[in-house]
Chain A
Amino acid sequence: SAVISQKPSRDICQRGTSLTIQCQVDSQVTMMFWYRQQPGQSLTLIATANQGSEATYESGFVIDKFPISRPNLTFSTLTVSNMSPEDSSIYPCSVTQGRDPNYGYTFGSGTRLTVV
Chain B
Amino acid sequence: AQTVTQSQPEMSVQEAETVTLSCTYDTSESDYYLFWYKQPPSRQMILVIRQEAYKQQNATENRFSVNFQKAAKSFSLKISDSQLGDAAMYFCAYRSKGAQKLVFGQGTRLTINP
Contact = CB atoms under 8 A, between A and B. Distances in A.
Interface in A43-83: 43-45, 48, 58
Contact of A112 (B33, B37, B43, B91): B43
Interface in A75-116: 90, 92, 94, 96-97, 101-110, 112
B100 A41 contact: no
A104 B50 contact: yes
A33 B91 contact: no
A76 to B, nearest CB: 14
Contacts of A31: 100
Contacts of B42: 109
A43 B45 contact: yes
Interface in A4-52: 31, 33, 41-45, 48
Contacts of B105: 42
Contact of A42 (B43, B50, B91, B101): B91
A42 B45 contact: no
A90 B41 CA distance: 13
A92 B47 CA distance: 15
B47 to A, nearest CB: 4
B43 A109 contact: yes
A48 B104 contact: no
Contacts of A44: 104
A45 B45 CA distance: 14
B43 A48 contact: no
A50 B45 CA distance: 22
A43 B47 contact: no
Contacts of A112: 43
Interface string B40-66: 001111110010100000000000000
B33 A102 contact: yes
Interface of B: 33, 35, 37, 42-47, 50, 52, 91, 95, 100-102, 104-107
17 contacts: A31-B100, A41-B106, A42-B105, A42-B106, A43-B91, A44-B104, A45-B101, A45-B102, A90-B43, A92-B43, A96-B100, A101-B95, A104-B50, A105-B47, A105-B102, A107-B45, A107-B46
